[in-house]
Amino acid sequence: MTDAVFRETTAEPRTQAVALSHLSLEVGHFYMEDFEAGPEHLRRHFERVRPWVEAARAAAADRAGGRRPRISTCFLVDDYFTRFSSPAELVPLLLAEAGRAGLTVDYLARESACAHAGEVPVAEAVAGRLVEEPPPGSYGLRPPVAQTGWLANGERSPAARAPQAMKKAAAWQPPRETAARRHSVFLDVELWSEAPDGHRTWSCPFLAAVWQLARLGLLRHRGEPVLVPRPHTAPGFPEDWDELPPLVRLNPRADPFAAYRTCSVLPNRFLPVEHAVRVILDRTEADPEALRQAAERSAREAVTVPDSVADRVSYVFYAGA
């Protein structure tokens, strides 16, 4: 005799699928120092970005096997670490300079949305999906990332301790990268800092990792997609960043925001941050149902997508300001 188990279908939240482009192409970040440098700085950025954008588009077309690739462009503005200017002043300037360089910005995102989007604590939810991978031979002396806010791609050098009586001091040992190729490139990433009152400030690398997961269509909250684009239909833009949606679709004819792969064209000063992003993505357990949906859809389209989330992310770093 077997016991029948009955469940309400509504008790099992359904994971909503999202439309996917072949490539999400990021054409820039924008921080206060970029705004202070004036329109010429933004103009030079787009002029440097344009040839690499064309190369990324050509590569995506090649992977699409002769079919028209779906490619969307996006731009991220920092309104998390520093509030500067206003959407009313900044967005028209950004779009004008992009257009001058022959580029179209399909989607505009606020970096604060990678921390908290509406009622969804996005960064906190991603932090809850971090997976500890103790390096081989380690003894668990390092506290977990949930306590420290630090994530490493290997084992750091042991802390020096005063020797006990009649014993020699332990010899220095170098840090070790877990997946080193001949030599280690050890990285220890700060994910957040915490104030005495308990307020947590998320780090730039961690928010950038959340941004990549959003662009790959892998963020869900109770089965619902996170950072859903909202069309811009008003004649202008608001004076306050809080009045601008977390993610805005500026181009009504744009391909879907999320994509099987991402590519970011950035100044080389972002290279250390994006190295940290890869470490974070390698230690993050993405939503399994969202991964399954992307895998099934890519198989139907005969599109090759790497199993590793980190390997779905690519970059072009250019020299100069």
pLDDT at 224 over 90: yes
Q: What is the pLDDT of residues 107-129, one digit of tens each?
A: 999 999 999 998 899 999 999 99
Per the domain annotation, does 49 fall within a domain?
A: yes
Per the domain annotation, does 140 fall within a domain?
A: no
Per the domain annotation, does 306 fall within a domain?
A: yes
Per the domain annotation, does 229 fall within a domain?
A: yes
**pLDDT value for 140:** 56
**pLDDT value for 173:** 81
Per the domain annotation, does 28 fall within a domain?
A: yes
**pLDDT value for 160:** 58
**pLDDT value for 5:** 47
Q: Residue 6: which pLDDT band, with cuts at 50, 70 and 90?
A: very low
pLDDT at 139 over 80: no
Per the domain annotation, does 263 fall within a domain?
A: yes
Which one-letter DSSP state was computed for residue 156? P
- The residue range of the domain holding 69 is 16-128+196-318
Q: What is the pLDDT of residues 185-214, one digit of tens each?
A: 899 999 999 989 889 999 999 999 999 999
Count of structural domains within the chain: 1
Residue 277 has φ and ψ, to the nearest 5°, of -60, -40
Q: Which DSSP string corresponds to 245-264?
A: -SEEE--TTPPPS-EEEEEE
In the chain, the amino acid numbered 293 is: Q
Per the domain annotation, does 4 fall within a domain?
A: no
Higher pLDDT, 7 or 45: 45
Per the domain annotation, does 186 fall within a domain?
A: no
Q: CA-to-CA distance for 34 and 299, rounded, in angstroms?
A: 41
